[in-house]
Amino acid sequence: MLQITGFTVGPFAEHPYLLVCSETRQAWLIDPGAEAEQLWQALQAAGATLTAIVLTHAHLDHVGAVEALRAKANVPVYLHPADDLLLAQVPQQARMFGLHMEPVRPADHPLTHGQTLHCGASACRVLHTPGHSPGSVCLFWPAEQVLIAGDTLFQRGVGRTDLPGGDARALFASIRRELWPLPDATRVLPGHGEPTTIGEERRLNPFVGEAAGFGFV
């Protein structure tokens, strides 16, 4: 069984997720965007061992705590290689918003579409969903019917595409191709905002749902 705890951190109100396998007590941190000490203390309180940091994409608000957590746990970082350049440009990204951030070292392992990864005894499938960024991915846990969506899909929204590497047509195509076939009851845990379900968004999302009033068809 997978235990999932969400947080809200940093100036962009980003959601990292702590995943703990109840059988093995192995854990992942997904998109640790800020407040590394808070995330580390939550990991300790869970009595879990961090085995990986997994990034849905490499925008600054999703990677700000990566280096501090790497230093504490000495664990590998996973990222789709299409976002390697974005990760290397984190200090420049920060300057666009009037912020300062130190460089983030390259990821240790590439994520690939269709890949299966294991957090302890629990398995997820990597879905490459370019559009918000070239290397954006979602992580689908079939047994739990949970999708960690990064900034691909939100409650009644989608990720912005006006940042470098964004592509609205690619984003809408990714959602329709990779996410709409998932079961209606799949719980969507986004990188910002409230949780939702695939069924709700397929019907009601105004950008890319069945009755979309605007967006690309």
DSSP characters over the chain: -EEEEE--BTTTTB--EEEEETTT-EEEEE---S-HHHHHHHHHHTT-EEEEEE-S---GGGTTTHHHHHHHH---EEE-GGGHHHHHTHHHHHHHTT------PPPSEE--TT-EEEETTEEEEEEE-TTSSTT-EEEEETTTTEEEEETSEETTEE----STT--HHHHHHHIIIIITTS-TTPEEEESSS--EEHHHHHHH-TTTSTT-SSS--
183 falls within a domain: yes
The answer to whether residue 169 is domain-embedded is: yes
CATH number where 77 lies:
3.60.15.10
User: Model-level pTM?
Assistant: 0.96
Is 64 part of any domain?
yes
Which pLDDT tens digit goes with each residue over 99-139?
999 999 999 999 999 999 999 999 999 999 999 999 999 99
Number of domains in the chain: 1
pLDDT-based confidence at 212, cuts 50/70/90?
confident
Query: Is residue 211, in this structure, part of any structural domain at all?
Result: no
Asked, for residue 47, whether it belongs to a domain, the answer is: yes
Residues of the domain holding 40: 2-204
Write out pLDDT tens, residues 3-24. Answer: 999 999 999 999 999 999 999 9
| Mean pLDDT score of the chain | 96
